[in-house]
Amino acid sequence: MVITEDIKYIGVNDHQIDLFEGQYIVPNGMAYNSYVILDDKVTVMDTVDVHFTEEWLGNVADVLGDRKPDYLIVQHVEPDHSASIEAFIKKYPEAIVVANQKAFELIYNFYKLEFGDNKLVVKNGDTLSTGAHTLNFIFAPFVHWPEVMFTYDEKDKVLFSADAFGKFGALDVDEEWDCEARRYYIGIVGKYGMQVQNVLKKAAELDIQTICALHGPVLKAPLDHYLEQYNTWSSYGVESEGVMIAYTSVYGHTKAAAELLAEELTKNGCPKVAINDLAREDMAECVEDAFRYGKIVLATTTYNAGIFPFMREFINHLTERNFQNKTIGLIENGSWGPMAAKVMKDMLANCKNITWTENNVRILSAVNDENIEQIKALAKELI
């Protein structure tokens, strides 16, 4: 793939993987992106997962022909991007590895590699000239590891953005960017909104025409949509108007209440109702919806004097990722001692800017006429 006259794509597609990072379902696989900048000096940007080392080295050789790389820039040391460093150095022993001090520490922790004199430690704001291209190093700590840095190419106005602006899915599959980029961002980067906001401020000072992330497609100008989405996600803003309902149900009664609420919301003109069965649906998709909408309803049963395990897991995912700026309604069910509403409120007590609805629903075993009126009142308040 040709990105600019001097920049080529040399990444790989992974359709062997079923769970990314051991937890995220990736039905369309993953892309591990790597790039080459051909100039007076040849620069390779990052490596790939260990299972694709040979394929990637073949891609490098195909693009370079008789030339050899002068630099390998390591922007992120997560193994899906760094596990082929050792093989690269064995094949190209004269190449200089360029990274920041924290990255070199992590490379040693993972692979016991030190590089001797073939090591260039860069600091935030440093530049590297490869001839016609000047590369600027922009530190982006905790987007989403501490060593992460971006690289901006002044000549071609390309931002190499590490994992930022990445998405799930291999590049030989045609799919919308937003959905899998949102799930990727919220699942993997979501906790670090403040750090992403800081990096977006730095990026706003640059003339960026192309974004080359380590996962997902190369993004070309106009880039407004991608930047706006990242701003919304990282500021924990509302992306879509509507209500997200997350429920668990043992014998179907809490599910019935959730479905009744969805019907009432729709009847009252709610633009979108996203209803999620936490026991059966992909948890990452459910978490994605909770961050996407400004209003959510949590519906679950009292279970062992607490709440049903899938709801507990769901709320833990939210709080781990700095869940905030939401309106939340509650539906609880308990045959003899309802505790679910209190437990859920307590779990979310440290979240910022939460507005709790005045109308909530308490079910004693099965939905009754009083509960139906409560559900109607909750729907009207949410609208």
258-315 tens-digit pLDDT: 999 999 999 999 999 999 999 999 999 999 999 999 999 999 999 998 999 999 999 9
Give me the percent of the chain exceeding a pLDDT of 90.
98
**How far is it, in rounded angstroms, from Cα 276 to Cα 287?**
10
Report, in angstroms and rounded to the nearest whole number, the Rg of the chain calculated over CA atoms. Answer: 24
Residues 6+ apart with CB under 8 A from 248: 254, 277, 278, 279, 299, 300, 301, 307, 308, 310, 311
Instruction: Assign 336 a pLDDT band (cuts: 50, 70, 90).
Output: confident
> What beta strand segments (E) does 33-148 contain?
35-37, 43-45, 71-73, 96-99, 119-121, 127-129, 134-139
> Where are the alpha helices (H) located in the chain, listed in sequence order?
53-64, 79-82, 85-91, 101-111, 177-184, 193-203, 224-234, 253-267, 283-292, 309-320, 340-347, 369-382
Q: CA-CA distances (angstroms) from residue 38 to 8, 97, 300? A: 8, 16, 57
pLDDT digits (tens, 9 = 90+) for 13-47: 999 999 999 999 999 999 999 999 999 999 999 99
- Residues 264/375, Cβ–Cβ less than 8 Å: yes
Give me the percent of the chain exceeding a pLDDT of 70.
100
pLDDT digits (tens, 9 = 90+) for 119-170: 999 999 999 999 999 999 999 999 999 999 999 999 999 999 999 999 999 9
Predicted confidence at residue 1, as pLDDT, reads: 85
pLDDT at 361 over 90: yes
**How far is it, in rounded angstroms, from Cα 57 to Cα 163?**
21
Main-chain dihedrals φ then ψ at residue 111, nearest 5 degrees: -125, -5
Instruction: Assign 335 a pLDDT band (cuts: 50, 70, 90).
Output: confident
Residue with tokens 């050789």: 61
Main-chain dihedrals φ then ψ at residue 270, nearest 5 degrees: -60, 130
Rounded average pLDDT over 323-351 = 96
pLDDT digits (tens, 9 = 90+) for 229-265: 999 999 999 999 999 999 999 999 999 999 999 999 9
Helices 283-292 and 309-320, packing angle to 10 deg: 50
Collapsed DSSP state (helix, strand, coil) of residue 383: coil
Positions of CATH 3.40.50.360 in the chain: 240-382
Q: 240-382: which CATH number, 1.50.10.100, 3.40.50.360, 3.40.50.1820, 3.40.1390.20?
A: 3.40.50.360
pLDDT digits (tens, 9 = 90+) for 167-193: 999 999 999 999 999 999 999 999 999
- Residues 132/6, Cβ–Cβ less than 8 Å: yes
**How far is it, in rounded angstroms, from Cα 73 to Cα 202?**
20
Positions of CATH 3.60.15.10 in the chain: 7-234
Q: 7-234: which CATH number, 3.60.15.10, 3.40.50.460, 2.40.110.10, 3.40.350.10?
A: 3.60.15.10
Predicted confidence at residue 141, as pLDDT, reads: 96
Mean pLDDT in the chain? 97
- Residues 71/36, Cβ–Cβ less than 8 Å: no
Predicted confidence at residue 337, as pLDDT, reads: 85
Predicted confidence at residue 176, as pLDDT, reads: 93
N-terminal to C-terminal alpha carbon distance within the chain: 48
CA nearest to 211, candidates 127, 271, 151, 279: 151
